[in-house]
Chain A
């Protein structure tokens, strides 16, 4: 009996080892495949994106990289016949919009997370968590439709109220609101996890020293979870920078001149890529890959910068 069991065990472990080997190979090839997509995608965008700068675009002429990055008119002259593209003003407005939307979504998101994790009674917290998670999984086009159908009208009426003639509500403000709505769930979910993983002994220590609950929440818990909260902000920024569909429905397609006027139209790097993409050819098509390239660089630089700041912010006693 015992011998039989031993035999069985032996057989099963030896089979187990082969399975392990096969599994390892399968997992590794999956990992390699997914990792290689990054290079394929980046490669194709790079190859197409440099075409406007390196060739004469079938007689239209080379696009100058310097004026492309610094100019403040999307395209001077006729489409398909001009090489005077530039996105300098769009880069700035993209960053400006991302910053503004973060200024709304970050405090709202973090405070919501704090409420769910520490203050709300358990059943309420559970419901809220589900609501936020559902919100996080709503596709961006739905946010866009909401923006086009509701927010545009609100912003239009609001502008009329303060005596400003808005362009149908298509404005920086509308974009910022849509993006804030989209990033709040992302920021909340991740900050909540960070807040919940703060070591309870720190919290107890603070309370024992006579600090009130609110003091503890803000001064001890939030500052202990700041690294995780910072990650939440980074992901929120990533979502804002990369969002195209929802934004293009409320941005208004500004084509020239930088504007920080909250109620005037705007463009972002993603909307300029998206508009007309399906119907265009030649240089007007290739230039969108160049914009994509710039967007990738912008995202990369932002992430590097934010991660550098995050490292300086540091980590305080967080439960592993």
Chain B
């Protein structure tokens, strides 16, 4: 560790402004602050800084994503061998999934970080760590059979149009990972939905439909049992299937205070409320399934824990978070049950509420100002 620090200190002067590698200043800064705590101090405003800077926050989220990732790798292999009707031991299964998933992660990081570094150089600001999480989430919400070039195109689109156009990390309106998925969903629908894409190299005769796909076409009896959906050994996007793995991640996020419990809680409430409303006025079998089952189907859990809670695109006010989360849950269930074109509503629900988050914040703040003005006026009158 010490040797690394010394090495960095030795080459640091070369990256100062005007020196030999001056133009790569922000690249150096990025690597240095990735390895060590940055020695930059604020020049004006508040000088008190918590240890929990963006790097720490992002690292926690990445750690929270690891259970879902590992389970996803295993499940990709498990589904593959299941569809072939073969038996394989644990490590062979995991290795198969690893070989499928790892290239997607590498492509995501290479393309995304490449663009981030290029923009940071061009604009002369430091590279933000925001993409560490995005690059990890994108693979987890894709089907295992997504071609790598599509992953690259979608990542580039998400980083450029979804993020850099607005000014980089912290300025984006839409969640970048979901922007990538939405791009793929509309651009290459045959690779993002249907029953062919959810199992890697599956045998043709084996049905690869996800629970949501089955439910939408009326095969309610084919939906896996709740236990299977909670454990997650079912076809689906790489990281979304296992509710247990996601709950471990949720625990990490909540314990460290990185993820907002308000959003998670209200997304789940919203989903349950919409499920109950459908139960009350059920006209088909899909509407009759118990409300809580919506929470463990498809990407609901993953979206509620990891994507709705994105601190940049969610509402900032505490009251706003409840409203924002509630409507995500409500819309997700509404879309998936009612709209035949979109088997999963979580992606569109979160993107939709991302757009509304600033508006919600605005009215929450306005309401607060009004309330306090009223109180102040009362005091004056007395």
Do these two chains really belong together in a complex?
no
